[in-house]
Structure 1
Amino acid sequence: MKYSEALQYKKEALEKADESVRQSYHIIITPADTAESAKYIEDFSKKPDEFKDNSCKKYSSNDEYEVVSFRKEAEEE
């Protein structure tokens, strides 16, 4: 899907998700290409606070995106 579609899809997913899901999972837009998505998620996971929705555009070679969710890492105490 195009970026604007992915942005809308993410917005709807966040609206439907309950608080425990929003607390426990990242819901992000990634490039649709598997290798580009893997690189984006790897970099995102290191410093999630430094990434915005449109950060994924730098990783995409074909302007196709998807919305994915994955569990947040437990923070070290």
Structure 2
Amino acid sequence: MKYSEAVQHKKESLKKAHESILNGYHIVIVPADTDESAKYIEDFLKSPEKFNDESCKKYSSNDEYEVVSFKKEDE
């Protein structure tokens, strides 16, 4: 999906998500390409506070995105 569609999908996901999901998982927009997505998530996990939704654009070569969730690491 295009970036604007991914933003809307993320907003809807956040509205519907249970509080335990919001507290225990990252919900992020990532490049649709698997390798680009893996690199983005790897970098994101190093410093999540440095990333925002638009950060994924730098990692995408084809302007296609998806919304994913993954468990937050215990701090």
TM-score, normalised by the number of residues in structure 1: 0.97
Unaligned runs of 5+ in 1: none
Unaligned runs of 5+ in 2: none
Between the aligned residues of both structures, percent identity stands at: 73
| Alignment correspondent of 2:60 | 60
SS at match of 1:61: coil
SS at match of 2:10: helix
Runs (4+) off by over 3 Å: none
| Alignment correspondent of 2:2 | 2
| Alignment correspondent of 2:42 | 42
RMSD: 0.3
SS at match of 2:5: helix
